Structure 1
Amino acid sequence: MEETNKHNTHNTLFHWHSFKLKLVFEGIGIGLITGLLVVLYRFALEKAGVLLIDVYKAISINSMLILPWIGALIIIGYIVGVMVKRDPMISGSGIPQVEGVLLRKIDMTWWKVILGKFIGGVLTIGSGLSLGREGPSVQLGAAVGQGFSKVFKRIKIEEKYLITSGASAGLSAAFSAPLAAVMFALEEVHKNFSPLVLLSALSAALSADFVASGFFGLKPVFNFKNISILPLKFYFYIILLGVILGILGVLFNKLILKTQDMYVKQTWLPKQMRIIVPLLISVLLGILLPQVLGGGHELIVSLVTENFSLTILVIIVFVKFLFTMVSYGSGAPGGIFLPLLAIGALVGNIYGMVLVHFVSFDSMYINNFIILAMAGYFTAVVRAPITGTILITEMTGSFSHLLSLSIVSIVAYIVADILASKPIYESLLEKFLHSQGEKISFGNKKNKSILEFAVCMGSDLDGKQIKEVNWPNYFLLVAVKRGEDEIIPKGDTVILPGDYLIVLTNEDKVAKINDALAIMTGSCEILNKQ
């Protein structure tokens, strides 16, 4: 009875007006827990990576050891495949699933996700698949946020903020990039710049980064040194690089979706056996081209510290690209951030070397193009230019390239937009929902939920009076937030861009209201394009 009362109309509205400061403290708590969990995850992956190097060194000395290693990979692939089949929420990056949970279109059992994603990610990424730690870290953090909400019996609107806070903390701890993590929560996960999201996500990201820094130090993830600033007279080459990255980003998005379809169409290959395919391929690559194994952190660092020939770079980027497709398409638990950055860095290195050979460009600027291409390629694929710019700035520890990073990111974004490429995580969410048969979480129709929507400039609601709008059924507009003011809505209240609509609805109608209001407010890019 207590749980039902807590979610009735009066208590739901009361909590909405009283939990701003509470979200900050809850964000700090979630950030600390997530930080510890992701630190443990990173340590496990590092140890697995060292073990992987030792395995291939041993195989190079004694080729007969390849047989037991293949047997071990088949067992690992089958175990993780069974885990993914039983709980599809732990498959792939995890970021699309988190977005689906926030839209109330899918359910997530937090403790199953934490266990499955942690174990599955360590086994597959640690075995050499071209997958990153960031997606699992985001989902692990989101699961911590949901677990916090369930354990302490928070209302649904509060749970949504706590999940977003956890996702932000996960990315922050994974890459030691708290500002990028907050921007990712705002720009990609939550899809609006709500002050409440900012407060809770920033609190969680900073506390998670504090924990991670205590274990890994205060140095940036990519500690590039002595990189000269690219003169303004060469910025034409940055624009050209942005165009190339935009096209390559669209290619990445299309092929990764097609690769998933290829696995599904192979009816002779059971779902629990799919992950074995890239694991077996990794054996051949581990012997012939070990640089492409794993997420790509060491590969990115080696581009700066070593001198690869142009031919070798072209081979590595081609194989890394295809191996990432095969690895992610199998449904193995792992993200695409690090592989994306590695592919982008390789493209930037090739681009710089081509300029040196054919345009007599100064070779001292090649490393600049490596950094720029990481941001541009990330933006072209994920379609989050602000996040991409801040992420690479924090990961490299240098703010001197902020202008050039911003330019290459926005150019890559525009090119991808012109080519009508959807953001990868929204495309992956659509595919995930389709594969699961649109298993929408209906919730309890007796419970109430508060939703918040940002009104975008040029949307259907821009400049209209409330009485002029054909609102969907089963919801009540309870407030319009304009800056620090909260307006009680009346029929002649004019809705302006930047307003936040506070909506009350039944819990079982949340998914439908989310879809309807996202189109009306213009807050969901993928829905606007449909």
Structure 2
Amino acid sequence: MTYGGNILTARTFHHLLHWRDFKLKVFSEGIIIGLFSGFIIVAFRYCLERAELLRESIYHSVNMYTFEIIILIIGLGLIAFILNLIVKNEPLVSGSGIPQVKGVLTGHLKMKWAKILVFKFIGGILAIGAGLSLGREGPSVQIGATVGQGISQLLGRLKIEEKFLITSGASAGLAAAFNAPLAGVIFAMEELNKNFSPAILMSTVAASLSADFITKLFYGSTSAFNFPELPILPVNCYIYLIGLGLIIGILGGFFNLSLIKTLELKDSIPLPNTLIIAIPLLLAGLLGHFLPQVLGGGNHLIDSLNQNYFPISLLILLVLVKFFFTLLSYGAGVPGGIFLPILVIGALTGNIYNDLIVKIFHVSPYYSNNFIIFAMAAYFTAVVKAPITGSILITEMTGSFSHLWGLITVSTVAYLASDLLKTKPIYEALYDRILRKNIKPINEKETMILIETVVCLGSEISDKSVKQVVWPRHCLLVNIKRGDLDIIPQGDTVIYAGDHIFALVNEKRVVGIERSLCSLAEELNYMPE
């Protein structure tokens, strides 16, 4: 059978006709991917911890006024040289890795999974271990995605299936990086796919839980941050949450604008890339002597905030240095994410905000840690614009679901406030930059892949028959999922809100067609005539 000049294989139709079995299959494969990803991310975390201990020992012991500083400069220069070789040899390992995974899922980029896995692992350890203000979560997501892609290719799976397995690996990577399996699932659906699909849900749940199981075997069941049991914030204090959300939202939008401008500035500087990488590394060596709290991801700094008192002058210094050092570190283009640094910036800002409302409005200091975690969720939401993921992530990382209502409230306000600056979500902006650069779209033999979207109440196609809808060109509607019922669409088949519609499209056209399908299925923002 042909469609649009492309031959659809019997294996493709076998998957479509046995969709229920397919979901069970990707669930089982998700477990395998989660186990492998879990072991690799545990090794990644362990190596990072060893590297950070070595860094602290070296930076603390070096005498800045003797020949030892020359040895340190040479060592940091060597790291810059190695990182440049890694990025030059495989450009897709630079930066977070999350935009690159999105590019693979949309069909614009192709990952050489084994090469990227090895280079991201080594590059992340060198960059973060040396003290750059970068996090482990982005590399963990990309490493997990490469595991999913690798298993898919080793098992000879179709492109239809590979998208699910890459997503599973990405969710497993985040779950293992932060001991947060639920956040891994939500992130995969809200940020990577922007689609709450049952098949994606099953595969990501399996991968995240199995990866989290492996992580707990080595790191125990403790949450990522050592917050004591927090009191419930009284409802009469929620007015301060709104103020916090507004401030954080604007600051988060400013971070997005600043990061993109930093990357554009880096592209325009006529300096060798090794030297550009060496600049933040040398600064890390200097900060390691005078202000070591801002080095690396910063999870230890967050733990210190809830256990020790910091004067407001020191908090302001820390947040300013962390902000600009994160821009400089990520702008160098080396492997490393911004997930953890933006949480640290949020936590510091929340601590400053708490100190101010305690002094000005006489709010009880008993709730200081509450404002720290609320600010973390708000800043994450303002930067990434994924409020559900932000709320769930902080909930899991602090080990308590008692504050979910407050987290959702402040995240929603921050989301709306960040929109005032009309900034794109940071990973979407970074993804657009990658596509605009010299990485060309994949040019291989034509491959059909399956895409899915959910029909919203009040959408253009809701309550219409298939033949009444003007479907995008080069798109073959193959299945409608309604509850537990799989429907082979006919011309007279009526589409209802809540239906999951599946279409076969050419991989090279997937982005435009998926956008068109989503616009047909999403809620109308105007009243139909």
TM-score, normalized by the shorter chain, greater than 0.5: yes
Alpha-carbon spacing, 1:7–1:450, altered in 2? closer, same or farther (3 Å): farther
Letter paired with 1:168: S
Letter paired with 2:506: N
Letter paired with 1:444: K
Letter paired with 1:123: L
Alpha-carbon spacing, 1:459–1:74, altered in 2? closer, same or farther (3 Å): farther
Alpha-carbon spacing, 1:522–1:77, altered in 2? closer, same or farther (3 Å): farther
Aligned 1:100-499 pairs, distance under 5 A: 100-266=103-269, 268-437=270-439, 439-445=440-446, 447-499=447-499
Is 1:10 aligned to 2:13, yes or no? Answer: yes
Letter paired with 2:144: G
| Paired position in structure 2 for 1:87 | 90
| Paired position in structure 2 for 1:501 | 501
| Paired position in structure 2 for 1:528 | none
Measured in 2, the distance between the counterparts of 1:499 and 1:256 equals 39
Any unmatched runs of 5+ in structure 2? 1-6
Alpha-carbon spacing, 1:7–1:159, altered in 2? closer, same or farther (3 Å): farther
Task: Report the 3-state secondary structure (helix = DSSP H, G, I; strand = E; otherwise coil) of the residue aligned with 2:473.
Answer: coil
- The structural deviation recorded for 1:278 is 1.1
Deviations 1:110-166 (A, max 9, x none): 001101100000000000000000000000000000000000000111110000100
- The structural deviation recorded for 1:192 is 0.8
Task: Report the 3-state secondary structure (helix = DSSP H, G, I; strand = E; otherwise coil) of the residue aligned with 2:166.
Answer: helix
Any unmatched runs of 5+ in structure 1? 526-530
Is 1:39 aligned to 2:47, yes or no? Answer: no
| Paired position in structure 2 for 1:71 | 74
Letter paired with 2:241: I
- Verify the 8 A CA contact 1:12 1:449 in the aligned structure 2: no
How many percent of aligned residue pairs carry the same amino acid?
51
- The structural deviation recorded for 1:483 is 2.0
Deviations 1:322-352 (A, max 9, x none): 0001111111101111001100000000000
Task: Report the 3-state secondary structure (helix = DSSP H, G, I; strand = E; otherwise coil) of the residue aligned with 1:481.
Answer: strand
Q: What TM-score results when the alignment is normalised by the length of structure 2? A: 0.94
- Verify the 8 A CA contact 1:8 1:448 in the aligned structure 2: no
Measured in 2, the distance between the counterparts of 1:273 and 1:19 equals 50
- Verify the 8 A CA contact 1:7 1:448 in the aligned structure 2: no
- The structural deviation recorded for 1:292 is 0.6
Task: Report the 3-state secondary structure (helix = DSSP H, G, I; strand = E; otherwise coil) of the residue aligned with 1:436.
Answer: coil
Is 1:29 aligned to 2:32, yes or no? Answer: yes
- The structural deviation recorded for 1:286 is 1.5
Count of residues in correspondence between the two structures: 518
Measured in 1, the distance between the counterparts of 2:216 and 2:472 equals 47
Task: Report the 3-state secondary structure (helix = DSSP H, G, I; strand = E; otherwise coil) of the residue aligned with 1:274.
Answer: helix
Deviations 1:350-403 (A, max 9, x none): 000111222222112111111110011111111111111111111011122111
- Verify the 8 A CA contact 2:350 2:375 in the aligned structure 1: yes
Measured in 2, the distance between the counterparts of 1:459 and 1:329 equals 41
- Verify the 8 A CA contact 1:81 1:273 in the aligned structure 2: no
Task: Report the 3-state secondary structure (helix = DSSP H, G, I; strand = E; otherwise coil) of the residue aligned with 1:408.
Answer: helix
Deviations 1:212-262 (A, max 9, x none): 001011111112114222111111001110111111110011111110000
Deviations 1:429-487 (A, max 9, x none): 001111135x2224422x43222222344544344433333322222111222222222
Measured in 1, the distance between the counterparts of 2:297 and 2:333 equals 15
RMSD: 2.0
Alpha-carbon spacing, 1:459–1:319, altered in 2? closer, same or farther (3 Å): farther
Alpha-carbon spacing, 1:510–1:194, altered in 2? closer, same or farther (3 Å): same
- Verify the 8 A CA contact 1:85 1:272 in the aligned structure 2: no
Letter paired with 2:445: N
Larger deviation: 84-93 or 496-505? Answer: 496-505
Q: What TM-score results when the alignment is normalised by the length of structure 1? A: 0.94
Task: Report the 3-state secondary structure (helix = DSSP H, G, I; strand = E; otherwise coil) of the residue aligned with 2:495.
Answer: coil
Letter paired with 1:203: A
- The structural deviation recorded for 1:28 is 0.6
Measured in 1, the distance between the counterparts of 2:278 and 2:464 equals 56
Task: Report the 3-state secondary structure (helix = DSSP H, G, I; strand = E; otherwise coil) of the residue aligned with 1:192.
Answer: coil
Measured in 2, the distance between the counterparts of 1:131 and 1:296 equals 9
| Paired position in structure 1 for 2:4 | none
Larger deviation: 144-153 or 68-77? Answer: 68-77
Letter paired with 2:316: V
| Paired position in structure 1 for 2:3 | none
Measured in 1, the distance between the counterparts of 2:382 and 2:471 equals 35
Measured in 1, the distance between the counterparts of 2:463 and 2:138 equals 39
- Verify the 8 A CA contact 1:7 1:449 in the aligned structure 2: no
Letter paired with 2:498: G
